[in-house]
């Protein structure tokens, strides 16, 4: 089969790496891709949101399956456009992707279908939002309603920080229309984890749990980012917890979306927190998580293309997983998630049989790879223990002090006390 992957980041490179192992894949294309994917896929210079050109390319190149990676084209209806042309696509419709595209819709949906989540209120008036914060106190969570590239969430430890976040989103319009409405949410205490699943209608096939690290700096300090590293599976999340989350969260969501006329096909991602009364939803995404995908897919024993075809055909893909751990650490541009420079030469990384590199924000120059984004690449490794995986991958990273223009967290997979999570 000829397969097209739409997207340019680490998530899409990881999908391509897994698809490249399939004996069923003939030609693999990435649109628009990045320079780090060139060894595995043909790079197609078409933007993710240009449905018309992507459809034209798919027809001309006899693409039999298109996989959509990022969220923005999903909300633009790329899946609907492909299906309207009779092209097979692994991705939710625009209607189903609203579970990620609008946090207020997602919260109302969860309340309606009794899916456990934090208490909340929605506001477009900054004065009313601040009055609610004043009444509830801190810590409290402020979220931009729409898509904000993983950066539209502020965990406010004081009321003053919450007020600043409300002004930033509703008055200064820092996230444009995505922040025209905010969700003010109860702060939940517990360990976070991510649970992704292959979904078609009411059929749900969960993957192994992963945990990502959102804060930019060690010890979970600094601003929220799109994710600075991740690992899977998560030892403190038991099979019973995963079964509960699958039944009470993912399955209920799939059934509810079908009942709402928004039947979901693709990857449903639940960002969860394990509270004293069980797992609750922090957020839903309508696609593979980033960087969780980079540590989950390397542990999948199955042929990823066959899994996707089985799911689309209504068949159980019978997922099987390696009895190992996988950890990944993101190398980011200094300044990320705020302003940063591009075009900086990447350091030499000695990936070997035990470790791997997933490229995201990179370009190619005469002198090799250079940076072209905030999150530049991810170094990952597998091992029989989380500790071993961590030692393998950190052994392939130069010290932070020796990096020019880049940084990474040194504590992925560890808690604040230093123990492995």
Is residue 421 over pLDDT 60? no
**Is 191-312 a domain of CATH 3.30.470.20?**
yes
Q: Which of 248, 280, 284 is nearest to 116 (CA)?
A: 280
| CATH number for the domain running over 325-407 | 3.90.600.10
d(CA 233, CA 324) in angstroms, rounded, equals: 8
d(CA 25, CA 2) in angstroms, rounded, equals: 6
In the chain, what are the domain boundaries? 2-94, 119-186, 191-312, 325-407
Q: Residue 161: left (phi > 0), alpha (psi -120 to 50), or beta?
A: alpha
Instruction: Find the angle CA(248)-CA(280)-CA(169) to the nearest 5 degrees.
Output: 130
Q: Give the pLDDT confidence of 306-329 residue by residue, as tens digits.
A: 999 999 999 999 999 999 999 999
| CATH number for the domain running over 2-94 | 3.40.50.20
Q: Give the pLDDT confidence of 239-250 residue by residue, as tens digits.
A: 999 999 999 999
Give, for 73, the enclosing helix (H) or strand (E). helix 71-76
d(CA 299, CA 397) in angstroms, rounded, equals: 22
d(CA 240, CA 219) in angstroms, rounded, equals: 29
Give the torsion through C-alpha atoms of 146, 151, 156, 157, to 10 deg: 150
Tell me, what's the pLDDT at 320? 98
Q: For residue 346, give both structure tokens.
A: 């990447």
Q: Is the Cβ–Cβ distance between 138 and 159 less than 8 Å?
A: yes
3-state helix, strand, coil in the chain (%, to 5): 30, 30, 40
Q: Is the Cβ–Cβ distance between 158 and 115 less than 8 Å?
A: no
Tell me, what's the pLDDT at 76? 96
Q: For residue 115, give both structure tokens.
A: 């899916």
Q: For residue 101, give both structure tokens.
A: 């595209």
The mean pLDDT of the chain is 93
Tell me, what's the pLDDT at 179? 61
Residue 243 neighbours by CB distance under 10 Å = 11
Kindly state the average pLDDT of the residues 66-81: 97
DSSP 3-state of 347 = coil
Q: Which of 314, 266, 148, 241 is nearest to 257 (CA)?
A: 266
DSSP 3-state of 17 = helix
Tell me, what's the pLDDT at 414? 83
Distances (CA, A) of 89 to 49, 58, 211, 288, 308: 15, 11, 28, 15, 10
Q: In this predicted model, which residue has the larger pLDDT, 157 or 252?
A: 252
Give the torsion through C-alpha atoms of 28, 32, 37, 39, to 10 deg: 60
**Is 119-186 a domain of CATH 3.30.1490.20?**
yes
Contacts of 160 (CB under 8 A, 6+ apart): none
Q: Is the Cβ–Cβ distance between 267 and 288 less than 8 Å?
A: yes
Q: Give the pLDDT confidence of 187-231 residue by residue, as tens digits.
A: 998 999 999 999 999 999 999 999 999 999 999 999 889 899 999
């Amino acid at each position: 089969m000829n397969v097209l992957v739409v997207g340019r980041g680490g998530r899409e490179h990881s999908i391509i790496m897994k698809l490249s192992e399939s004996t069923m894949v003939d030609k693999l294309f990435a649109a628009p891709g990045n320079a780090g994917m060139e060894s595995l896929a043909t790079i197609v210079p078409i933007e993710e949101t240009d449905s018309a050109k992507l459809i034209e390319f798919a027809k001309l190149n006899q693409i039999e399956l298109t996989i959509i990676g990022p969220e923005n084209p999903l909300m633009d209806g790329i899946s609907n456009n492909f299906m309207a042309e009779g092209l097979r696509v692994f991705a939710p419709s625009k209607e189903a992707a609203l579970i990620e595209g609008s946090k207020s819709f997602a919260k109302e949906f969860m309340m309606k279908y009794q899916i456990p989540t934090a208490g909340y209120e929605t506001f477009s008036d900054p004065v009313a939002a601040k009055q609610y914060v004043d009444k509830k106190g801190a810590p409290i969570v402020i979220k931009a309603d729409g898509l904000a590239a993983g950066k539209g969430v502020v965990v406010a430890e004081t009321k003053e920080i919450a007020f600043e976040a409300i002004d930033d989103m509703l008055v200064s319009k820092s996230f444009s229309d995505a922040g025209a409405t905010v969700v003010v949410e109860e702060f939940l205490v517990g360990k976070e984890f991510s649970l992704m699943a292959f979904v078609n209608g009411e059929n749900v096939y969960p993957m192994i749990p992963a945990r990502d690290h959102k804060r930019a700096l060690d010890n979970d300090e600094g601003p929220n980012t799109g994710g600075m590293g991740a690992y899977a599976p998560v030892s403190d999340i038991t099979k019973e917890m995963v079964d509960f989350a699958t039944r009470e969260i993912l399955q209920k969501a799939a059934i509810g979306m079908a009942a709402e006329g928004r039947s979901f096909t693709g990857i449903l991602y639940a960002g969860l927190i394990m509270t004293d009364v069980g797992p609750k939803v922090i957020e839903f995404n309508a696609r593979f998580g980033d960087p969780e995908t980079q540590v989950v897919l390397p542990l999948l024993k199955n042929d990823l293309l066959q899994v996707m075809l089985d799911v689309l055909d209504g068949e159980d893909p019978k997922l099987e997983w390696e009895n190992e751990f996988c950890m990944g650490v993101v190398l980011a541009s200094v300044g990320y998630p705020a302003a940063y420079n591009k075009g900086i030469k990447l350091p030499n990384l000695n990936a070997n049989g035990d470790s791997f590199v997933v490229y995201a924000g990179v370009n190619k120059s005469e002198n090799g790879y250079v940076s072209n984004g905030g999150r530049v690449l991810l170094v990952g490794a597998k091992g029989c223990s989380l500790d071993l995986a961590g030692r393998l991958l950190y052994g392939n990273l130069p010290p932070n002090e020796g990096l020019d223009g880049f940084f990474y967290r040194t504590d992925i997979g560890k808690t604040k006390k230093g123990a492995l999570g």
